[in-house]
Amino acid sequence: MKQFFLFLALLITASQIHSQENLPTDYLSKEFHQGRREAFRKLMPANSVAVIFAYPERVFSKDINYNFHQNPDLYYLTGYKEPDAVLLIFKETQGTEQAYNEVFFIREKNAAREMWTGRRLGVDGVKSQLGISNVYNGKDFKDFAVDFKKFDKIIYDNIPVDLRNDNSGFDLSGLLQTFKTKAEIIKEDPVSLEYFRSITCTLREIKTPEEMELMRETVKLSCIAHNEVMKAVGPDMSENEANGIHAYIHKRYGAEDEGYPPIVGAGANGCILHYEENNSTKIDNQLLLMDVGSEYHGYSADVTRTVPANGKFTEEQKAIYQLVYDAQEAVFKICKEGTPLIDLNKTAKEVLANGLIKLGIITDPKDVKLYYPHSCSHFLGLDVHDKGNYSGPTSALKENMIITVEPGIYIPANSKCDKKWWNIGVRIEDDIAIKKDSYENLSAESPRKWQDVEKLAAQKSTFNEIKFPKI
């Protein structure tokens, strides 16, 4: 019987090894992650240790989880994509018999569980594939000889709450409790949180060449999706169908997911900034606002286009669209190293306010906030609203930052203006790489000018030819 179970375990392991063939080859390299840990260490204060946990798994329904999404900071530093893990980075070398400056505790391999929920890297896999030398199973954290009390500073992020606990002592809940006990943490230390925020924001706001390649990839395939929907859209299309075309194209080009819940809103729905239902059954002869971006190997695009479902802007739609386009163009002109972040939104607001006054929609420039309630830009990368220094003395554009430029105008029904403007919502959003004296529009492959949008909308999409059975 023992031989049978040994044979079964070997069979499971062999099948898992075989299933790893034909994986993408353009993931971030282990050298990238190692370099990020070194960069993190350099920014740490003397005699300190940083503690970075995996994100928790979350329940979708009963015993089914949402697809797991790793803590972007842990992924950035390790490349590890599994739950129940904690990374320790030390400023100075530790140990006497065996020197180390980092240690990683991960989820243990389990052939029976992997048959149900997918393969795990395990200690050997992390060492060979991710290039981390000091790797242990999570259950070893409790007895690992680290004296947190000897450090002047323990650096960590907000500690997750409302976690499931499998009572093993080495799931995420167990790892967190072990850390709190070892470090004698009763409540979070704001100084520790600020150190963590400062280091990760400083690192992640500047993209390395490897990150730039992935960002170009995710933005490019998002543009392909936007263009295909522009060609396929029609008054009888539903919001959900337009959303589905985006999702298909993302998957077709190897994106794992969307970087955020897609916003696909027609008419009045386009005036809801984070409209996510996408359930209107007909777009009709309205504008369709699509804020959809893929997530490719962890990196998110964030592209918005607004298209008339019948292929032609009305005069009112065209006027609002042109105003948003002009605001975006004005912001582009100052997208270069040294520009204060605050100037981007200031510029957009000035153009939009002046334009709305000329159109008779507002009379006081301060009222621009009624129709432009958000800001113009945010950092982009591993998070769609990526980490970066948004305020303070370092909050200016720097070379190799990636930001969005996304002015918009949203005029819901019953607004205090002529009814002809009601239910017009327009946003144009592009992903911009900052250079020394200029910028690169990563999403330039998707048209922005209203004339070019109409021209593309006049073309036919392969999706128009697909015939599905009726239900």
| Interval 59-74 mean pLDDT | 95
pLDDT score, position 9: 45
What domains, with CATH codes, occur in the chain? 25-203 (3.40.350.10), 207-465 (3.90.230.10)
| Interval 101-130 mean pLDDT | 97
Sheet of strand 86-94: strand arrangement: 135-137, 100-106, 86-94, 48-53, 153-156
Q: What is the dihedral of CA 456, 460, 463, 468, to 10 degrees?
A: 140
pLDDT score, position 164: 87
How far apart CA 313 and CA 307 sit, in angstroms, is: 8
* Residue bearing tokens 């981390």: 132
| Interval 65-87 mean pLDDT | 97
- Tell me if 323 sits within 8 A of 351, measured CB to CB: yes
DSSP 462: G
16 pLDDT exceeds 50?
A: no
pLDDT score, position 331: 98
How far apart CA 318 and CA 426 sit, in angstroms, is: 10
Instruction: Band the pLDDT of 160: cuts 50, 70, 90.
Output: confident
19 pLDDT exceeds 80?
A: no
Distances (CA, A) of 427 to 265, 302, 373, 422: 11, 12, 12, 15
413 pLDDT exceeds 70?
A: yes
Instruction: Band the pLDDT of 18: cuts 50, 70, 90.
Output: very low
Q: What is the mean pLDDT of the chain?
A: 94
pLDDT score, position 222: 98
| Interval 263-274 mean pLDDT | 98
6 pLDDT exceeds 70?
A: no
pLDDT score, position 11: 44
* Residue bearing tokens 């300190």: 48
Q: Where are the alpha helices (DSSP H) in 56-171?
A: 72-78, 111-117, 122-130
- Tell me if 356 sits within 8 A of 174, measured CB to CB: no
How far apart CA 460 and CA 458 sit, in angstroms, is: 7
Instruction: Band the pLDDT of 8: cuts 50, 70, 90.
Output: very low
- End-to-end alpha carbon distance in the chain: 52
Q: Which of 177, 178, 174, 173 is nearest to 143 (CA)?
A: 178
Instruction: Band the pLDDT of 10: cuts 50, 70, 90.
Output: very low
17 pLDDT exceeds 60?
A: no
37 pLDDT exceeds 80?
A: yes
Express each pLDDT in 368-411 by its tens digit: 999 999 999 999 999 999 999 998 877 999 999 999 999 999 99
Express each pLDDT in 305-358 by its tens digit: 999 999 999 999 999 999 999 999 999 999 999 999 999 999 999 999 999 999
pLDDT score, position 20: 66
- Tell me if 44 sits within 8 A of 16, measured CB to CB: no
How far apart CA 373 and CA 410 sit, in angstroms, is: 9
Q: Which of 471, 456, 469 is nearest to 231 (CA)?
A: 456
pLDDT score, position 394: 77
pLDDT score, position 153: 97
Express each pLDDT in 219-253 by its tens digit: 999 999 999 999 999 999 999 999 999 999 999 99
- pTM score, two decimals? 0.94
- b vs e for 381-392, b when ≥16 Cβ sit within 10 Å of the residue's Cβ? bbbbebbbbbee
| Interval 34-43 mean pLDDT | 98
DSSP 155: E
Number of H helices, E strands in the chain: 12, 18
Distances (CA, A) of 38 to 72, 75, 90, 326, 432: 17, 15, 10, 43, 27
